[in-house]
A and B are shown apart, each in its own frame.
Chain A
Amino acid sequence: MSVDRTTGTAARVVAATGERLRRRPAWLAALYVGNARAVIGRGFRVIRNANWGIIATGFFEPVFYLLAMGVGMGGLVGVVPGPDGRPISYAMYLAPALLATSAMNGAIYDSVHNVFFKLRFGKLYEAMLATSLGPMDVALGEIFMALFRGFLYGIGFLGVLAGMGLVTSWWALAMLPVALLIALGFASLGMAVTSFMKGFQQLDLVPLALLPMFLFSATLYPITVYPGWIQAVIMALPLWHGVELMRQLSVGFFTPLTLVHIGYFVAMSAVGIVVVTLRLRALFLR
């Protein structure tokens, strides 16, 4: 094995990396190299070999809810007022909420459980940060992988809705980018929260937080049934915004609140990415 360490491909890439970094402000150069795609490439290489049965399990939960609540209980409930006031079937009311939940579940499974393992046991991020990757490259790459899973769940669930005849408007296509946004928000937040976790006991708290959020965030019925202060709490939580956004899209009816919902997820994603970057730096570049 003979190697020319001054003119070979590696030397050229290293020199180009240095060149690019020197053009950036110093604070950014130490955090971000612009190579998150290498982290994403790693993620896809792992998924290729992974057990798809296990990946798919999380997808079925909202499908079961749709069948049990939407079809089963929907028969008793009949027709309810939609976002624009016009009456829609209960299944139609429920479906967009479950789509938002589906995107959330996918993103959370990956950004909490998988990330926790890689963080505490696999030493993956430690290895990554011994290369020329910066903490923000790792954060963006890993959040992308979690968001990808959320997006897959979202597409799958939308397919189920279409198959059941619950998709009636072309607006449904706009639900995909919105599923992406919701997944991004939860992936960023999920990884940020996970970066503070130290043991498996803390992981158990995640479903404890998610289940009530799912049940009470206007998924199954409007939040107007609650007293004002409970409504305020729910409106501060992310899932409600996702549910409302999806529901408005399902019938193509928008209000000024639509922008608030979108803004909520944009802000949540930005905060999450910053927190994850800083936490990775604090954990591995002390």
Chain B
Amino acid sequence: MPVIRAADLVKTYGDFDAVAGIAFEVEPGESFGLLGPNGAGKSTTMRMIGGTLLRTAGVLEVLGLDPETHGPEVRASLGVVPQQDNLDEELRARDNLIVYGRYFGLPLSYLKPKADELLEFAQLTEKANAKVSALSGGMKRRLTIARGLVNEPRVLLLDEPTTGLDPQARHILWDRLFRLKEQGVTLVVTTHFMDEAEQLCDRLIVMDHGAIVAEGSPQDLIRRYSSREVVELRFGSDRNAAVAGELRALVDRSEVLPDRVLLYADDGEALLETINRRGLNPLTSLVRRSSLEDVFLRLTGRSLVD
């Protein structure tokens, strides 16, 4: 049985369709991603899964129950990591975990060792008695994730887990999330970072304007919607458009962005050689593997991070 099942799920605000009829299923133990730009409807979907936002229409089942009518029961088995940290600033780090566990009705005899275990998992053992306001952004994020694990949830909902963190903090966090996945926790992650989706997700849906535009594993999506490699060229902002016509003739697919031209090819080095032989002389050139960013560009004509 899927842990989450959505069908024709709709959320409207007045005339605006935040989520415009989406359908997906999440299997137990899976790491499932919702990828899309800001405003695509990812967080709205997450909040409907947690039962803290009512849907306008459609079917939604979490662990076999409707989160709208069985909110407390559904949330008892969920871990929620919201986009904005909402730690209890009036409590210290360790007390945040214990008190949050009490909200689930968990006994102190369970929570005291659990809090220490989670602090260690979040690499915050030294900060156990620190005030929340004294923690860095990355530490707060890890504490929020640790808090979301206090009830040993079957499903962990992570809304933009690493937004606003520096690269080092992001990698620590990814490592921790990967360990959870290994333990069989079902992860549902929203992100607008393609590298994050590639790192964390077994399977994902790409969302845009409240609708699903593609679904599959990251590799699968890249294979289906992009070439093996991409050549990125910069000719300077005036010349990018001017040479685009000539470049386009060389490949099946190209994208002209304000600052660079992307050419899609199976053999990037060979294509770059051809370009150089023709004397087009780009200022900079880069051959790389295709990513989800390219998939998104292909599907929507826009980049993920504007």
Residues in chain A within 8 A of chain B (CB atoms): 1-3, 5, 8-11, 13-14, 16-18, 21-22, 26, 29-30, 33, 35, 38-39, 41-42, 45-46, 49, 122-124, 126-134, 284-286
Q: Does any Cβ of A come within 8 Å of B299's Cβ?
A: no
Interface of B is mostly: loop
Tell me whether A14 and B77 are in contact (CB under 8 A).
Answer: yes
Chain B residues within an 8 Å CB radius of A284: 52
Residues in chain B within 8 A of chain A (CB atoms): 50-54, 69-73, 75-78, 80, 82, 84, 86-92, 95, 99-100, 102-107, 110, 117-118, 120-121, 150-152, 154, 179, 183-185
Tell me whether A134 and B90 are in contact (CB under 8 A).
Answer: no
Tell me whether B76 and A286 are in contact (CB under 8 A).
Answer: no
Cα distance, A11 to B121, chains bound together (Å): 20
Chain A residues within an 8 Å CB radius of B100: 127, 131
Q: Looking across the interface, which residue of chain B has its beta carbon closest to that of A138?
A: B103
A sample of 27 cross-chain residue pairs with beta-carbon separation below 8 angstroms, ordered by A number, consists of: A3-B183, A5-B184, A8-B152, A10-B104, A13-B106, A14-B77, A14-B151, A21-B70, A21-B72, A22-B73, A26-B69, A35-B105, A39-B103, A42-B99, A122-B89, A124-B86, A126-B52, A127-B87, A130-B78, A130-B82, A131-B100, A132-B73, A132-B104, A133-B103, A285-B71, A286-B53, A286-B54
- How far, in Å, is B134 (CB) from chain A's closest CB? 14
Q: Looking across the interface, which residue of chain B has its beta carbon closest to that of A42?
A: B99
The answer, among A21, A39, A124, for a CB contact under 8 Å with B73, is A21
- How far, in Å, is B100 (CB) from chain A's closest CB? 7
Cα distance, A187 to B75, chains bound together (Å): 28
Cα distance, A128 to B88, chains bound together (Å): 10
Chain A residues within an 8 Å CB radius of B110: 9-10, 13
Chain B residues within an 8 Å CB radius of A13: 76, 104-107, 110, 151
- How far, in Å, is B34 (CB) from chain A's closest CB? 18
* Known contacts A122-B88, A132-B103, A285-B54; is-contact A17 B152 (Cβ 8 Å): no
